[in-house]
Amino acid sequence: MAGGFEAIKNAGLRSWLEEVQRLCRPEGVYVCDGSEEEYARICRTCVDHGTFTRLNETLRPNCFLARSHPSDVARVEDRTFICTPEQIEAGPTNNWAESGEMKRKMTAMFDGCMKGRIMYVIPFSMGPIGSPFSKTGVEVTDSAYVVANMIIMTRVGTKVLEALGDDGSFIPCLHSVGAPLGLGQEDVAWPCERDPVKKFIVHFPDEPSIWSYGSGYGGNALLGKKCLALRIASAMARKEGWLAEHMLILALTSPQGKKYYIAGAFPSACGKTNLAMMRPTLPGWKVTTIGDDIAWMRIGPDGRLYAMNPETGFFGVAPGTSYDSNPNAMETFTANSIFTNAALTDEGDIWWEDMGIPAPAHAIDWEGADWTPDAGRKAAHPNSRFTAPARQCPVIDPDWENPAGVPLSAVLFGGRRAGTVPLVYEAFDWEHGVFMGSAAGSETTAANLSKTGVLRHDPFAMLPFCGYNMGDYFAHWLSMAERTDESRLPRIFFVNWFRKGEDGHFLWPGYGENSRVLKWISERIEGRGQAVKTPIGNLPSAEALDLTGLDIPAADLQALLTVDREAWQAEAAELARYYEQFGDRLPEALRRQLAALQERLGGR
């Protein structure tokens, strides 16, 4: 399938590709056209290399399972860098290296790194092709697995090159698994750099460009996603006056047919996909999906904030996804999907923990070993994933590909918090809402290759994804109120589905029951919903929440809807310490907000 760059009319792109080819020295090059025939061919290549196992055609048509190397199962935040001339531009929350120095280092690593492999060229568009709000990237990769996933997750192929024209600009995204093949050397099913300190996920926001080396997994390798649509886009958005956010987008329709668009920022593996596709338990309410991970937001001609999903697929966490927790996701990946690090049943289907299907008597686990329910280990990796086309989602919203996006009525922030944080509360105004976003924290999950279950600050769920100084990012959010009439902006809420009781049980049932919280939010938007003013924000009273048909112990409800002053005083003191690292990049408004919170909490 190897060819040349004949299809490439864009001179800048052509010369970059020739330069990359000289540097990486692949065995051949291939430019993706985005055809269906091509996707089938790429998948066959993956099967031939042992990277993919074709699943049972009757049970799961046109679906594949991939098993990664055990060292390559999640994003590597400690190997992720933002490179700028000065460290202050990357800020205290990012790994930083000086651009020139990192360029030299990466160039040496990429030298000959594709030997024995095909260099795939993936022209892709984040956002509808040709829309003024979309961004064009070109990913060069030596991984066919990456190509197959990118085809699901983004808009790929000749149409993108056509829209790019002779002189359009694009974001170069260079990726290699970092495993060149010697002459006659046999390949492995999942080639990657095994040494964790030799993996590098590197961003040059000033150029902008992306260089990723050593990993083939998810956000490390599908460069349109976290690297371009969040880290690079956030830096571009700041310059261009918009926002690139780690947010789901959903539409909530009331029984009266009123539609509200809501975006929500939650860290990786905290239920964004489940919320985005939720089946409300409240009769008559409906949720439709616009996106589950990334929102690009800008102020529209009418002064409202519009959000669009730049992706075309879902790269969701598999374990825990079931007909109970997320039936619409289950229906989305019934065909034409890729599963990574799930278990393989003897029937040739996939399985994972908490799939709502009894464990098979025998399976092949994510590491390729025999597995039985008494094995004492998980069959699927906790960060195993499905890659599924968004158009297959039964509740995909008709406006999901609208290039202008949808006008937001509310923005939610949240995370996994066993204690302190109530079920839901509302910001007093935009500035207070931005303060709430900056104060967000969450217990870590398997989505990042480090310790799980540790509480860490994760402002706006953007800690791993902000492409510039987080202090400046806060200021950028605050500035939105100056770009429009503040009353046109969405209302801001903080939610926490993960509150636990002292004995460790979840106080709130979550999933479809979260519609009760969304209903209250819609009533607040309408100016009808009842709220109690507390030091941290406006909380619903138990009567204000529609709890019809929900059997929840009074004590649990009480814990979910009260503000524990002492815990919040500790929370505020901890936030003050966290803020210190931002120095004079921390907006004065947030300092004021923190002082005001402490004042309201008293005891200072």
- Distance, CA of 195 to CA of 76 (rounded, Å): 12
Please indicate whether residue 173 is annotated as part of the active site.
no
The interface mask with ligand SAT, positions 44-83, x = CB under 6 A, is -------------------------------x--------
Smallest distance from the beta carbon of 74 to ligand SAT, in angstroms?
A: 7
**Residue, CB closest to ligand SAT:** 219
How is 313-338 classified by DSSP, letter by letter? EEEEE-TT--TTT-HHHHHHTTSS-E
Q: Which among ligand SAT, Mn ion, none contacts residue 102 (Cβ within 5 to 8 A by kind)?
A: none
Catalytic residue among 24, 270, 393, 466: 270
Pick the stretch among 127-135, 218-226, 499-507, 539-547 that binds ligand SAT (CB under 6 A).
218-226
- Distance, CA of 379 to CA of 361 (rounded, Å): 12
- Residue 218 makes contact with ligand SAT by CB under 6 A: yes
Given candidates 60, 226, 231, 381, which one binds ligand SAT under the rule CB under 6 A? 226
Distant-in-sequence, close-in-space partners of 58: CB < 8 Å, separation ≥ 6: none
Q: Which among ligand SAT, Mn ion, none contacts residue 386 (Cβ within 5 to 8 A by kind)?
A: none
- Distance, CA of 343 to CA of 365 (rounded, Å): 5
Element (H, E) at 442: strand 441-443
- Distance, CA of 442 to CA of 418 (rounded, Å): 9
Distant-in-sequence, close-in-space partners of 52: CB < 8 Å, separation ≥ 6: 43, 46, 64, 65, 66, 145, 148, 338
Please, what is the end-to-end C-alpha distance for the chain in angstroms? 70
- Residue 315 makes contact with ligand SAT by CB under 6 A: yes
Please identify, using beta-carbon distances, which residue of 293 and 513 lies nearer to ligand SAT. 293
Smallest distance from the beta carbon of 85 to ligand SAT, in angstroms?
A: 27
Pick the stretch among 219-227, 408-416, 532-540, 586-594 that binds ligand SAT (CB under 6 A).
219-227
Q: Which among Mn ion, ligand SAT, none contacts residue 519 (Cβ within 5 to 8 A by kind)?
A: none
- Distance, CA of 366 to CA of 65 (rounded, Å): 10
Please identify, using beta-carbon distances, which residue of 293 and 365 lies nearer to Mn ion. 293
CA atoms within 13 A on the CB side of 525: 24
- Number of chain positions touching ligand SAT (CB under 6 A): 8
Please identify, using beta-carbon distances, which residue of 293 and 571 lies nearer to Mn ion. 293
Smallest distance from the beta carbon of 454 to ligand SAT, in angstroms?
A: 16
- Distance, CA of 137 to CA of 229 (rounded, Å): 10
Report the interface residues with Mn ion, using CB under 5 A.
Answer: 268, 293
Q: Which among ligand SAT, Mn ion, none contacts residue 459 (Cβ within 5 to 8 A by kind)?
A: none
Which of 226, 600, 230, 594 has its CA nearest to residue 434? 594
Q: Which among Mn ion, ligand SAT, none contacts residue 155 (Cβ within 5 to 8 A by kind)?
A: none
Which of 369, 368, 363, 361 has its CA nearest to residue 350? 363
The interface mask with ligand SAT, positions 488-527, x = CB under 6 A, is ----------------------------------------
Q: What pairs with residue 83 in β-bridges?
A: 97
Given candidates 83, 129, 380, 447, which one binds ligand SAT under the rule CB under 6 A? 447
- Residues 309 and 290: beta-carbon distance below 8 Å: yes
Smallest distance from the beta carbon of 268 to Mn ion, in angstroms?
A: 4
Given candidates 154, 268, 496, 522, which one binds ligand SAT under the rule CB under 6 A? 268
- Distance, CA of 293 to CA of 288 (rounded, Å): 15
Q: What angle do CA 201, 205, 209 make, to 5 degrees?
A: 60
Place of tokens 């969701």: 316
Given candidates 69, 225, 304, 476, which one binds ligand SAT under the rule CB under 6 A? 225
What are the residue numbers of the active site?
A: 270
Judged by the rule CB under 6 A, the positions of this chain that interact with ligand SAT are: 75, 218-219, 225-226, 268, 315, 447
